[in-house]
Chains A and B, each alone.
Chain A
Amino acid sequence: QQQVKQSPQSLIVQKGGISIINCAYENTAFDYFPWYQQFPGKGPALLIAIRPDVSEKKEGRFTISFNKSAKQFSLHIMDSQPGDSATYFCAAEPGSARQLTFGSGTQLTVLP
């Protein structure tokens, strides 16, 4: 049972454009929502994370939008660059345990 659904599976964006990746969750016990970035041949690395007490968090060109009532959160990459080309994973973790449940991943390609 996939508790975190991620879309789209792949995304192609022109340089300078906005990349948007969406995730939806089912478990209302989740209280920590990170996004991880993974380059080929490397392990995932934390990009940005949010807790449900805020609706938005911004770090540089990366923004998480969080909608608690809809149980959805999304990653927005502004002014996308070719160096942003990677696989992005959303994840969620319940307050009762330090265990991440990951989405299936989005392969982002930013064209020069």
Chain B
Amino acid sequence: DAEITQSPRHKITETGRQVTLACHQTWNHNNMFWYRQDLGHGLRLIHYSYGVQDTNKGEVSDGYSVSRSNTEDLPLTLESAASSQTSVYFCATSPGGGTDTQYFGPGTRLTVL
């Protein structure tokens, strides 16, 4: 079955370290998104991509970067982790072409000490 996987599922790191969260999809969807989920804020969009080599900033992009070299993967990099980036991170995909439904991965819980 087609799916979205995220790895690692849990990560503890230290302030200042570079961290990369992986997102891999087998849906063959054009659109991919990264969100962070924090209590009281719902899900906030970090970065998104509408296809290979396309990346765009979302509402809370500062301190994060993404790259899209193929259809299946959109890794999220925290350049220099900060305690404020402790959160649960979700990757999502949608087919594009007018279909709006987004499908979410299982999430990565990141703790920055």
Q: Which residues of A contact B (CB under 8 A)?
A: 6, 9, 32, 34, 36, 41-46, 49, 89, 93, 98-105
- Chain B residues closer than 8 Å to A44, beta-carbon distance: 43, 90, 104
Task: Indicate if the CB atoms of B45 and A100 lie closer than 8 Å.
Answer: yes
Shortest CB-to-CB span from A34 to chain B, Å, is 7
Task: Indicate if the CB atoms of B104 and A105 lie closer than 8 Å.
Answer: no
Shortest CB-to-CB span from A107 to chain B, Å, is 10
Task: Indicate if the CB atoms of A89 and B42 lie closer than 8 Å.
Answer: yes
Known: A32-B100, A99-B58. A104 touches B42 (CB 8 A): yes
Task: Indicate if the CB atoms of B104 and A34 lie closer than 8 Å.
Answer: no
* Interchain CB contact (< 8 A) of A93 among B4, B59, B100: B100
A sample of 11 inter-chain contacts (CB < 8 A) reads A34-B100, A42-B107, A43-B104, A43-B105, A44-B43, A44-B104, A49-B100, A98-B94, A101-B45, A103-B42, A105-B42
* CB-CB nearest in chain A for B104: A43
Interface bin, chain B: 20 to 34
A44 to B35, alpha carbons, bound, how many Å?
11
Asked whether B44 is an interface residue with its Cβ less than 8 Å from the other chain, the reply is yes
Please report which residues of chain B, range 50-76, place their CB below 8 angstroms from some CB of chain A when the two chains form the complex. Answer: 50, 58-59
Shortest CB-to-CB span from A103 to chain B, Å, is 5
Asked whether B16 is an interface residue with its Cβ less than 8 Å from the other chain, the reply is no
Known: A43-B106, A89-B42. A49 touches B94 (CB 8 A): no
In the complex, per-residue mask of B32-53: 1 if CB is within 8 Å of any chain A CB, else 0: 0101000011111100101000
A93 to B43, alpha carbons, bound, how many Å?
13
Task: Indicate if the CB atoms of B101 and A34 lie closer than 8 Å.
Answer: yes
A42 to B92, alpha carbons, bound, how many Å?
12
